Chain A
Amino acid sequence: MNLIGLSLVGFSAILLLALSLIKRKSPPKLRVIPALTRLYRAISLSVEDGTRLFIHLGPNSLLTPHGGAPLAGLGMLRHLTERTSFSDRPPIAAAGESSLALLAQDTLEAGYEAAGAGEYYQPLSGRLTGMTPFSAAAGAMSIIRDEDVSASILIGHFGVEAALMAEAAERQNAFLLGASDDPASQAALYASAPEVLIGEELYSAGAYLGATASHAASLTVQDILRWLIIIALLAGSAMKLFGMI
């Protein structure tokens, strides 16, 4: 039995629950992420001028170790759908994998119903753009170019093909926010996208759009665990250096 892993998961779960209960009455204090601030403005502008919002969740499945990023993308999709459901042009959610595309459809529908605009939901606003990363990127590029998209959000597990979508958005003078958990993709997006979230910032995007107690608590848990890991690494390095282990 992997006790270390089990204890880490258990400790995280207990901490998350406790902090959720403690923080449920106090507003979350989040540091300013300029990319998310500009994202909020871009979304508002897209609703005002009647253009479309496009969210791509990446070509990766939830069944992979990188399924956390698409999960975070689905949470963000839900918040964005509730905010933009009454726009003249409904948002489009796409994915490069079938099960993720179905979940995106379901999340869109839930967002519309939560906003009281269930009758405006269109099933075809949740799409599968391709079965491979580059074919999914090509499908996304055609959506950005042809369907009057003014704000694009790439949040999920992307590869370097995300740079193609970023260039398509730049050609249309559209806003684009890139958030991937792959370092190579982050490097490509840093160079090509106007706004990019580095590292685990993509997991906090949902908290910035619709902060709940559990969201804020999860960010705090991440910070606590990160510090614990830092301490463990430094301590282990020191112990290794001094020959203790």
Chain B
Amino acid sequence: MADMIKCSVCGENNPADNEFCKNCQSRLQSLSGPSKGDNAPLQAGQVPTKKVTSEGDFSETLADDKSSAPSTLTWMTPQESAPEKDGLAFWLAETGQSPASFSDETAAPVQPAASTPEASSSNADKSDWLHDLQSGASTFDETPVDQTPISSDERPDWLKNMDAGAASFEQKPVEQPVSQSQSAPASDVPDWLRTFGEPPAPSTPSAPAAPSGEMPQVVQPLEPADVGISPAVDMPDWLSSPEPDESEPQPQESGQASSAAPAFADGSLSSGDVDAIFGSLQMPDWLSSAAAPSQPLASESPPPAAQSGASIAPADLPSWVQAMRPVEATLLDTNSGESVDSVVEMNGPLAGLQGVLPAMPGGMKPSYRPESHSIKLNASEEQLAHSALLEQILAEETTPVPMKSPSTILSQRVLRWVITAFLFLFVGGIFFAKTEIFALPSRGQLLNDETEATISVMDSIPEGAPVLVVFDYEPSLAGELEAVGAPLFNRLLLLKHPNLAIVSTSPTGSALAERFMSTTLKGRNYQRDVQYVDLGYLAGGLAGVYDFAQNPTKVMPFGADGSAVWNSSVLQGKTRLAEFSAVIVLTDSAEAGRVWIEQAGPFRGNASFVVISSAQAGPMLMPYLQSAQINGLVAGLNSAAKVEQANGQPGLARRYWDAYSLGLLVAVAFMFLGGLWNFFLGLQARRAQEAK
């Protein structure tokens, strides 16, 4: 099989004329030659040599490239490990031309660094077409790029030597325009590449170059050698040096074996060639204007690599071209001192690229423990001071301000103790002294004196009659009520010898009644169940008064001791309230007295109703006396003293009267003097507050 090229990717045999494999669409021939000399890839820190490239229409060139572009990007497919040679730089190096030398026919061809004999053999061919390019560089702006395709024999060796797995671009094969006359074998060769081997021809600016499906070099990803890929790194086939082509002269050895040849060598391309390359593309204005001063650039001293005699002069990469360099160009920087990731991606869209994804330290096992980072805030002293100040401000806001509680004035405690002392002294002293200095209140001075009515009622009770006595006061007022009730009960018990039925509306009432009968009326010698009976506690308190008044025997059928008191000799078979001769209520509150008066009043019939109350309840019970709802009222020690005077026998009222009177006088003195003092103090404090 003649003229068959085996695809390095899939192993399919392809015609030699094919640029791309018909099976896997990978590039069959590498684009670049070995990277030697000026064609060597750029190293870190190395300034790429500026080259004058074709000023043709980039769009045409791009269109031409598209016509024969393979469907897949061969550089994306798994590639065999490429040779270390850099294809693109190689062919540039072999031409020995620099961009500046495109328009300078007399410029010495730059001798690219050649690492292999194969590369050097192709340099000679390249130098011819580049030389041709150089001669045509002057007509770059004026003459259109001749779209005449070159034959396969006329193709530069670097192109032939490109591996089948050279990267191609993902461009659909575009139907070649009619104007682009191409021979069948050369149909895949981009026009801008074809023009490299053609003599400069007048070209119209409007005639675009028709690349055979490949993008122009300016938009192609640069060869690894252009960006300084070390020879030791695996490169995709399209970037690696092509298979050694015997017909190609080996690239010349250069003193700088490892130095990267500039991508563009001065003078390597003529203006016409540049036009052929870029004629089909839309060239930016800055590039167009740069074409003019390309000649002065030719006078610049070529880089050392170019001085080695390579045919292609190194070119200066514009910045926007450098930005388009592949990722490996930034990662694989051997002079940076960083460890070089030697992993070449084999799968996926990054296949063939090297060092794209940094290898994980310690193998492929992911580290589950995240890196520890310092949480210490890096703040300056000023910032720390500001934050401390802010914290202080916030702390003051949240700290509760202690309320200025008014301290207990010592005088208040002193005053209380003084009052207590005076009362103890005067009241207690005169009580224990048993004096009778103070005169008792006179009786009979008032019209409608309540005590006189009461005495009359008591005297009207029949002898031995049953009397209902209600004990409805609290233990706290037992002292007063016993003192107030004693004179009247003494008179009653002494004169009339009634039978008493005791009932209470408070739980302590029975006990208080027993105390009253056994201590206060001890002299009368009344015996329980003989002269008096205890009916006990009336359930419900004042709420049970109405029911009791309605039917006493039903509500309280038994006595406090559980005996049948209603049939006893004391009560003599009395079963209704009206059958009692009198009802006497001892109470410390006006409300209890009112309840008994209003609830039991309708059921008492002709029974006398007498209320013995404390001094505080007297005024409110007086209307009941005045309205004749009750028959008698003894309120307070004052009334009790009058009853005692009527009895003719001194009792508790006389005994308490001196202490009672003196205590009242002391209280009046304290209130008057102390009140006057505090009045002026209060005025003073008020004025001071108003002044504030």
Q: Is the CB of B616 within 8 A of A64?
A: no
B540 touches which one: A63, A66, A182 (CB < 8 A)? A63
Q: Are B543 and A173 in contact (CB under 8 A)?
A: no
Whether A134 lies near B616 (C-beta < 8 A) is no
**Is A160 located at the chain interface by the 8 A CB criterion?**
yes
Stretch at the interface among B25-33, B34-42, B551-559, B588-596: B588-596
Known: A49-B400, A160-B616, A171-B408. A65 touches B591 (CB 8 A): yes
Cβ contacts under 8 Å, B540 to chain A: 63
Kindly state whether residue B428 has any CB partner on chain A within 8 Å: no
State whether A159 and B589 are in contact (beta carbons under 8 Å apart), knowing that A64-B541, A131-B507 are contacts in the complex: yes
Q: Is B475 an interface residue (CB 8 A)?
A: yes
Other-chain contact of B406, A61, A64, A161, A173 (Cβ < 8 Å): A173
Contact B589 A63 (CB under 8 A): no
A61 touches B595 (CB 8 A): no
B543 near A64 with CB under 8 A, answer: yes
Complex partner residue of B595 from A64, A134, A173, CB under 8 angstroms:
A64
Q: When the two chains form their complex, are residues B474 and A132 in contact, meaning their CB atoms are under 8 A apart?
A: yes
Which residue of chain B lies nearest to A187 when distances are taken between CB atoms in the complex?
B616
A65 vs B589: C-alpha distance when bound (angstroms) = 13
Does B405 have its Cβ within 8 Å of any Cβ on chain A? yes
B594 adjacent to A65 (CB under 8 Å): yes
How far, in angstroms, from A159 to B616 measured CA to CA in the complex?
A: 10
What interface size band does chain A fall in? 10 to 19
> Contact mask B589-620 → A, CB, 8 Å, 1/0?
10100110000000000000000000010001
Whether B542 and A63, one on each chain, are in contact in the complex, defined by CB atoms closer than 8 angstroms, is: yes
Whole-angstrom CA separation of A132 from B476 in the bound complex = 9
Q: Which of B418-477 contact A (CB under 8 A)?
A: 474-476
Please tell me if the beta carbons of B542 and A64 are within 8 angstroms of each other in the complex: yes
Please provide the chain B residues from 385 to 410 with a CB less than 8 Å away from any CB of chain A in the complex. 400, 403, 405-406, 408
Q: How far does the alpha carbon of A49 sit from the alpha carbon of B595 in the complex, in Å?
A: 45
Q: How many chain B residues have a CB neighbour from A under 8 Å? A: 21
Find out whether the CB atom of B476 lies under 8 angstroms from the CB atom of A133: yes
A-chain residues with CB within 8 Å of residue B645 when the two chains form the complex = none
Residue among B400, B405, B507, B541 making CB contact with A61, cutoff 8 Å: B541
B475 touches A132 (CB 8 A): yes
Q: Is the CB of B591 within 8 A of A66?
A: yes
B288 CB within 8 Å of chain A? no
Interchain CB contact (< 8 A) of A132 among B405, B508, B541, B594: B508
Q: Which of B405, B474, B594, B616 contacts A173 (CB 8 A)?
A: B405
Nearest B residue (CB) for A45:
B403
Q: Chain B: which residue is nearest A50 at the CB level? A: B400
Q: Which residues of A contact B408 (CB under 8 A)?
A: 171, 173
The answer to whether B476 and A134 have CB atoms under 8 Å apart is: yes
Which residues in window 529-552 of B have CB below 8 A to A?
Answer: 540-543
Assembly CA distance A186 to B170 (angstroms): 103
Give the distance to chain B from A113, nearest Cβ to Cβ, in Å: 31
A161 to B403, CA, bound (A): 30
Question: In the complex the two chains form, what is the Cα distance from A141 to B405 in whole Å?
Answer: 20
| Cross-interface CB contact of B474 among A66, A133, A184, cutoff 8 Å | A133
CB distance from A66 to the nearest CB of B (A): 6
A176-191 vs B, CB cutoff 8 Å, 1 = contact: the mask equals 0000001110000000
A65: chain B residues at CB < 8 Å are 542, 591, 594-595
Contacting residues of chain B (473-504) with chain A, CB-CB under 8 angstroms:
474-476
Minimum C-beta distance from B417 to chain A (A): 14
CA distance A21 to B405 in the complex (A): 47
Complex interface: chain A residues within 8 A of B508 (CB)? 132
| Contacts A132-B508, A160-B616; A61 near B543 (Cβ below 8 A) | yes
Most chain A C-beta atoms within 10 Å of own C-beta, residue among B476, B541, B595? B476
Tell me whether B475 and A63 are in contact (CB under 8 A): no
A191 to B538, CA, bound (A): 36
Within 8 A of A (CB), among B328-351: none
Contact B476 A184 (CB under 8 A): no
B474: which A residues are within 8 A, CB to CB?
132-134
Considering the complex, give the chain A residue whose CB is closest to the CB of B475: A132
- Specify the chain B residue showing the minimal Cβ separation from A64: B542
Q: How far is the CB of B320 from chain A (nearest CB, A)?
A: 68
* Residue of chain B at shortest CB distance from A167: B416
Q: Please name the 5 residue pairs, one residue from A and one from B, whose CB atoms are nearest each other, closest first.
A: A63-B543, A134-B476, A173-B405, A184-B616, A64-B542
| Chain A interface (Cβ < 8 Å from any Cβ of B) | 49, 61, 63-66, 131-134, 159-161, 171, 173, 182-184
Known pairs A49-B403, A65-B542, A182-B591 / 8 extra A-B pairs, C-beta < 8 Å? A61-B543, A63-B540, A64-B542, A64-B543, A65-B591, A159-B589, A161-B476, A173-B408
| Interface CB pairs A-B, < 8 A, 24 | A49-B400, A49-B403, A61-B541, A63-B540, A63-B543, A64-B541, A64-B542, A64-B591, A66-B591, A131-B507, A132-B474, A132-B475, A132-B506, A132-B508, A133-B474, A134-B476, A171-B408, A173-B405, A173-B406, A173-B408, A182-B589, A182-B591, A183-B620, A184-B616
